[in-house]
A and B are shown apart, each in its own frame.
Chain A
Amino acid sequence: MAAPKKSVAKESGQEKAGSPPEFTREQEFKALRDMLLIRRFEEKAGQLYGMGAIGGFCHLYIGQEAVVVGMQMALKPGDEVITGYRDHGHMLACDMDPKGVMAELTGRRGGYSRGKGGSMHMFSKEKNFFGGHGIVGAQVSLGTGLAFANRYRGNDAVSVTYFGDGAANQGQVYESFNMAELWKLPVIYVIENNRYAMGTSVSRASAQQDFSKRGASFNIPGMQVDGMDVRAVKAAGDEAAAWCRAGKGPMILEMQTYRYRGHSMSDPAKYRTREEVEKVRHDQDPIEQVRNRLLEQKVTEQELKAIDAEVREIVNAAADFAQHDPEPDPSELYTDIYR
């Protein structure tokens, strides 16, 4: 039975009251599986990075899984997704092939960008995933452009534009907010507030720390969402998508979340204590929350283990493919520069 939901659309900055609507058993299983896939994939990516199989930058999504999984459950086919460089979770949530993603991380020809993009630059036209962008904040204008195209074509698709608490301080974010509200563009701005922009905490970087209010001067409604509870994320996503599809313009969702790992693989993590990380993991882990609810509903450990085993198999197959697929042919150096 869904708990009555208070609309917060007009109350910028209001925290959602009450507990989120319950998931069906089927939804809980889906959320668990999709979040586990991201977690295991990222753990494996971290491992491959440690082995030297993945180069350059590698930003892991561990801890934030409920955000993309919950949002994806609120979307319809045709909706677009775009994000920054912490993008592996978004791609898996968009149903992109883990093999193709992992092979891009290792720079192989079977990668989504044929090895030419890397961790931060992957796209899938088929799955409506528009990247994967390495310049902090650039995806916000681009995502607004996806929404512009939807309005131009007169369809009812929504652009889900993800960015972090760090990107939220970039100028072009506000240029985009202005035009999105001015033209009533169907874009959901999902601010993933994981509390640290690289090594700088929100309190040291942001004059307005309530990110749901960041659209206030443009009259864009916003809400703060418990980004560790996949049900709360989906409920907020449903509301925002309905708002956009009704032609009311953009909405901001501040997802209060947490990244367990460093900013990138080479992060010494001196800016926070281990106790802080451990406390979030222990008290709020998005995956444990679902597991515990399922166990309360008399689902057996056996059933849960089966999901874990299935996910592990997918991730191991992806890792195997990504290490054995050949590197791109040298001729790839000069392809895809012009059409």
Chain B
Amino acid sequence: MPIQVLMPALSPTMEKGNLSKWLKKEGETIKSGDVIAEIETDKATMEVEATDEGTLGKILVPEGTADVAVNTPIATILADGESAADLDKAPAAPAKAEAAPAKAEAPAPKPEAKSDAHAPAAPAAVAPPDPEIPAGTEMVTQTIREALRDAMAEEMRRDPDVFIMGEEVAEYQGAYKITQGLLQEFGERRVIDTPITEHGFAGIGVGAAMTGLKPIVEFMTFNFAMQAIDQIINSAAKTLYMSGGQMGCSIVFRGPNGAAARVGAQHSQDYAAWYSQVPGLKVVAPYSAADYKGLLKAAIRDPNPVIFLENEMLYGHTGEVPKLDDFVVPIGKARVARSGKDVTIISWSMGMSYALKAADELAKEGIEAEVIDLRTIRPMDTETIIASVKKTGRAVTVEEGWQQSGVGAEVASRIMEHAFDYLDAPVARVSGKDVPMPYAANLEKLALPSVAEVVAAAKAVSYR
């Protein structure tokens, strides 16, 4: 049967074009790949190549014709052994490109104002509770630095596919001494010093993870991870989805995030909000020593890419860590760090230090604040936040990062969506000021949140 040549589209948006020229005549032999005609639009010219072999039977649209609709038959090609007499056997042209047979209904997830379960895969609701710590468990006082080191060492003992790479992680024992002793215990095969080349080694880590290894990629600080953010988002976060579930990426990107002290604008940014926007990533930012240990272990075991945000100012802080063989804290679960009934203060990481001190101050004035440590920014534990706000009717968020599109903005939105009727006041946000971090000591202090600001915000939403 003769084959029809259809007017092609140069782009998905093209609807018609001009047939400017025929390069083959009727009766000429055509090989696959031969250019047979030229078409043009206001944007471009394109050659029409034959995809079949035979002879050009009939030209249906003469050259110079303007505004030929896409998919209009423009010629017929006769296969070997066919003649002009076969021309009328050509099938009727489809009016339009064949529509997808099982045209799916638009998925349109139902907006459910008071439920968190509007999406089939919303993971926040399913976070398991913290592990039971049996009565009588010995508690060890550790710095956060030691808790992180122990978490990595334990996971490396447990799984030979876990390794750590980054700048100064091996011989130097870590720029902030987080990897102290790991080279001695695990050797240079698994504790790998990289050149100063964030984009490159992040990509190498993701590539290794695509084969099933479980890299821990340390950034000396998350400020430098901006050089690598394409690999983190476009390669690590999206590959599972783009591969239809075939190829994932179990990897931890960790390092200090946010403001240190007197290091200026380029070394003091909080990236929690940036990463928390990306589906495919989990974002963890703990405050207590026990959570640092238990959540890092969970992050290393997680089959997904995890952004583990630490805080340099907290590395030397000590806390009680349960002495258990396998202390793992689930990702995606917030913790009520202090109970109260008057106002909910929501924070995480370094912000918790302001929040907890503010709660002490408020108690002196007879205001009982409930303080929630989010611990995980994505998936966010909306349930714990909402339960608290329903109890207190007032909420304050505290973060060191900038306010616009910040994590506090997200928390406030969720409260509005899920607990609007319970609110006695608008949610207040305490955050870093809307400026690059200054160097001068006095200005730096002004740029960061303070205990006084948290106290003032809590009193404001309490109308006191």
The answer to whether A116 and B121 have CB atoms under 8 Å apart is: no
Task: State which of B137-145, B203-211, B311-319, B421-429 sits at the interface with chain A.
Answer: B203-211
- Across the interface, A176 reaches (CB within 8 A) one of B163, B204, B210, B240, namely B204
- Nearest chain A CB to B253 CB, angstrom units: 14
A171 with B51, Cβ < 8 A, contacts A124-B246, A144-B207 known? no
The answer to whether B102 and A326 have CB atoms under 8 Å apart is: yes
- Nearest chain A CB to B256 CB, angstrom units: 22
A143 located at the interface, meaning its Cβ lies under 8 Å from any Cβ of chain B in the complex: yes
- Across the interface, A141 reaches (CB within 8 A) one of B32, B71, B104, B203, namely B203
The answer to whether A338 and B12 have CB atoms under 8 Å apart is: no
A138 with B230, Cβ < 8 A, contacts A43-B51, A130-B207, A339-B303 known? yes
- Across the interface, A337 reaches (CB within 8 A) one of B12, B163, B280, namely B280
- Nearest chain A CB to B278 CB, angstrom units: 10
The answer to whether B200 and A175 have CB atoms under 8 Å apart is: yes
Interface centre among A260, A323, A326, A339 (most CB of B within 10 A): A339
The answer to whether B8 and A172 have CB atoms under 8 Å apart is: no
- Across the interface, B208 reaches (CB within 8 A) one of A40, A145, A328, A336, namely A145
The answer to whether A145 and B97 have CB atoms under 8 Å apart is: no
In the assembled complex, which residues on chain A have CB atoms less than 8 Å from the CB atom of B197? 175, 178-179
Interface residues of A in 1-54 (CB under 8 A from B): 39-40, 43-44, 46-47, 49-53
The answer to whether A44 and B51 have CB atoms under 8 Å apart is: yes
A205 located at the interface, meaning its Cβ lies under 8 Å from any Cβ of chain B in the complex: no
A141 with B199, Cβ < 8 A, contacts A327-B100, A336-B244 known? yes
The answer to whether B247 and A142 have CB atoms under 8 Å apart is: no
A142 with B203, Cβ < 8 A, contacts A43-B32, A116-B241, A116-B242 known? yes
Closest to B71 in A: A51
Closest to B250 in A: A339
Bitwise interface map of A from 64 to 81 toward B, beta carbon under 8 Å scored 1, else 0: 000000000000000010
The answer to whether B97 and A52 have CB atoms under 8 Å apart is: yes
The answer to whether A339 and B100 have CB atoms under 8 Å apart is: no
In the assembled complex, which residues on chain A have CB atoms less than 8 Å from the CB atom of B230? 135, 138
C-alpha gap A166/B441 in the complex (Å): 47
A148 with B44, Cβ < 8 A, contacts A114-B245, A123-B247 known? no
C-alpha gap A338/B32 in the complex (Å): 45
- Nearest chain B CB to A170 CB, angstrom units: 9
A330 with B49, Cβ < 8 A, contacts A125-B246, A338-B280 known? no
B279 located at the interface, meaning its Cβ lies under 8 Å from any Cβ of chain A in the complex: yes
The answer to whether A148 and B245 have CB atoms under 8 Å apart is: no
B464 located at the interface, meaning its Cβ lies under 8 Å from any Cβ of chain A in the complex: no
B111 located at the interface, meaning its Cβ lies under 8 Å from any Cβ of chain A in the complex: no
The answer to whether A135 and B195 have CB atoms under 8 Å apart is: no
Number of interface residues, chain A, beta carbon within 8 A = 78
- Nearest chain B CB to A24 CB, angstrom units: 27
C-alpha gap A334/B12 in the complex (Å): 26
A59 located at the interface, meaning its Cβ lies under 8 Å from any Cβ of chain B in the complex: no
A149 with B102, Cβ < 8 A, contacts A46-B49, A135-B230, A339-B248 known? no
B89 located at the interface, meaning its Cβ lies under 8 Å from any Cβ of chain A in the complex: no
In the assembled complex, which residues on chain A have CB atoms less than 8 Å from the CB atom of B81? none
Number of interface residues, chain B, beta carbon within 8 A = 72
Task: State which of A236-244, A251-259, A265-273 sits at the interface with chain B.
Answer: A265-273
- Nearest chain A CB to B345 CB, angstrom units: 29
C-alpha gap A53/B96 in the complex (Å): 10
Task: State which of B57-65, B178-186, B231-239, B380-388 sits at the interface with chain A.
Answer: B231-239
B336 located at the interface, meaning its Cβ lies under 8 Å from any Cβ of chain A in the complex: no
B98 located at the interface, meaning its Cβ lies under 8 Å from any Cβ of chain A in the complex: yes
A335 located at the interface, meaning its Cβ lies under 8 Å from any Cβ of chain B in the complex: yes
- Across the interface, A146 reaches (CB within 8 A) one of B45, B211, B235, namely B211
In the assembled complex, which residues on chain B have CB atoms less than 8 Å from the CB atom of A125? 246-247
The answer to whether B33 and A333 have CB atoms under 8 Å apart is: no
The answer to whether B242 and A179 have CB atoms under 8 Å apart is: no
- Across the interface, B207 reaches (CB within 8 A) one of A112, A141, A338, namely A141
Interface centre among A53, A130, A145 (most CB of B within 10 A): A145
The answer to whether B207 and A333 have CB atoms under 8 Å apart is: no
In the assembled complex, which residues on chain B have CB atoms less than 8 Å from the CB atom of A265? 10-11
A295 located at the interface, meaning its Cβ lies under 8 Å from any Cβ of chain B in the complex: no
The answer to whether B246 and A123 have CB atoms under 8 Å apart is: yes
A148 with B104, Cβ < 8 A, contacts A52-B70, A267-B44 known? no
In the assembled complex, which residues on chain B have CB atoms less than 8 Å from the CB atom of A268? 43-46
Bitwise interface map of A from 109 to 135 toward B, beta carbon under 8 Å scored 1, else 0: 001111111000111110000111111
- Nearest chain A CB to B80 CB, angstrom units: 10
B292 located at the interface, meaning its Cβ lies under 8 Å from any Cβ of chain A in the complex: no
A247 located at the interface, meaning its Cβ lies under 8 Å from any Cβ of chain B in the complex: no
Interface centre among B47, B98, B210, B240 (most CB of A within 10 A): B210
A331 located at the interface, meaning its Cβ lies under 8 Å from any Cβ of chain B in the complex: yes
The answer to whether B120 and A334 have CB atoms under 8 Å apart is: yes
- Nearest chain A CB to B14 CB, angstrom units: 8
The answer to whether B279 and A337 have CB atoms under 8 Å apart is: yes
Interface residues of B in 160-174 (CB under 8 A from A): 163
The answer to whether B43 and A130 have CB atoms under 8 Å apart is: no
Closest to B189 in A: A152
The answer to whether A179 and B97 have CB atoms under 8 Å apart is: no
A182 located at the interface, meaning its Cβ lies under 8 Å from any Cβ of chain B in the complex: yes
B6 located at the interface, meaning its Cβ lies under 8 Å from any Cβ of chain A in the complex: yes
Interface residues of B, Cβ cutoff 8 Å to A: 6-12, 32-33, 43-47, 49, 51, 70-71, 96-98, 100-107, 119-121, 123, 163, 189, 194-195, 197, 199-213, 230-231, 234-235, 239-248, 279-280, 282, 303-304
A-B residue pairs in contact (CB < 8 Å), sample of 21: A44-B51, A49-B9, A50-B6, A51-B9, A52-B97, A55-B12, A111-B244, A117-B244, A131-B243, A135-B230, A138-B203, A142-B204, A144-B200, A144-B203, A146-B211, A149-B213, A172-B199, A175-B199, A176-B204, A260-B33, A266-B10
